[in-house]
Amino acid sequence: MTALTNLLDLDPEQLIAYCAELGEKPFRAKQLQRWIHQFGAGDFDAMTDLAKSLREKLKTRATIAAPAVISDHTSADGTRKWLLDVGQGNAVETVFIPEENRGTLCISTQAGCAVNCRFCSTGKQGFSRNLSVGEIIGQLWMAEFELRKTKGIEPGPKGERQITNVVMMGMGEPLLNFEPTVTALKLMLDDNAYGLSRRRVTLSTSGVVPMIDKLAQECPVALAVSLHASNDGLRDGLVPLNKKYPLVELMAACKRYLDYAPRDFITFEYCMLDGVNDTDAHARELVALVQNAVNPVPCKFNLIPFNPFPESGLTRSNNGRIKAFAQILMDAGIVTTIRKTRGDDIDAACGQLAGEVQDRTRVQERMQKMAEYQKKFGKDFGRIVEVRT
Site of interaction with ligand SAH (CB under 6 A): 113, 119-120, 169, 173, 204-206, 226, 269, 271, 304, 306-307, 351
CB of 297 closer than 8 Å to CB of 261: no
- Upper half-sphere CA count for residue 94 (Cβ side, 13 Å): 30
What is the sign, positive or negative, of the torsion defined by CA atoms of 260, 263, 265, 266? negative
Question: Which residue is nearest to ligand SF4, using beta carbons?
Answer: 123
Q: How far is the CB of 120 from ligand SAH (least distance, A)?
A: 3
C-alpha to C-alpha distance for 355 and 358, rounded to whole angstroms: 8
Catalytic residue status for 269? no
> From the CB of 61, what's the least distance to ligand SF4, in Å?
36
Catalytic residue, from 113, 120, 219, 350: name it. 350
Per-residue binding string, ligand SF4, 107-146, x by CB under 6 A, is: ------x-xxx--x-xx-----------------------
For ligand SF4, the closer of residues 122 and 165 by Cβ is: 122
Which is nearer to ligand SF4, 41 or 95 (by Cβ)? 95
Helices and strands in the chain: count of H runs, count of E runs = 12, 15
Residues 154-173 that bind ligand SF4 (CB under 6 A): 172-173
Angle at 235 between CA 229 and CA 240, to 5 degrees: 145
Least separation in angstroms between CB 217 and ligand SAH: 20
Helix (H, G, I), strand (E, B) or coil at 165: strand
- Which of ligand SF4, ligand SAH, none does residue 116 bind (CB under 5 to 8 Å by kind)? ligand SF4
Taking the complex as a whole, the smallest distance from the CB of residue 13 to ligand SF4 amounts, in Å, to 30
Sheet holding 68-74: strands in order across? 68-74, 80-85, 91-98, 103-106, 165-168, 201-205, 222-226, 266-272, 299-305, 336-341, 384-388
Shortest distance, position 385 Cβ to ligand SF4, whole Å: 20
Q: Which does 96 bind (CB under 5 to 8 A by kind): ligand SAH, ligand SF4, none?
A: none
Provide DSSP, 194-210.
Answer: T---GGGEEEEES--HH
- Residue 348's binding partner among ligand SAH, ligand SF4, none (Cβ under 5 to 8 angstroms by kind) is none
Query: CB-wise, 33 or 202, nearer to ligand SF4?
Result: 202
The Cα diameter of the chain in Å comes to 69
Q: d(Cα 30, Cα 361) in Å, to the nearest integer?
A: 42
Q: Pattern 169-198, binding to ligand SF4, x per CB under 6 A?
A: ---xx-------------------------
Q: Return the one option of ligand SAH, ligand SF4, none that residue 212 interacts with (CB less than 5 to 8 A, by type).
A: none
Rounded CA separation 329/287 (Å): 6
- C-alpha pair distances (Å), 372 with each of 82, 296, 347, 375, 385: 17, 47, 11, 5, 20
Name the residues annotated as catalytic: 93, 350
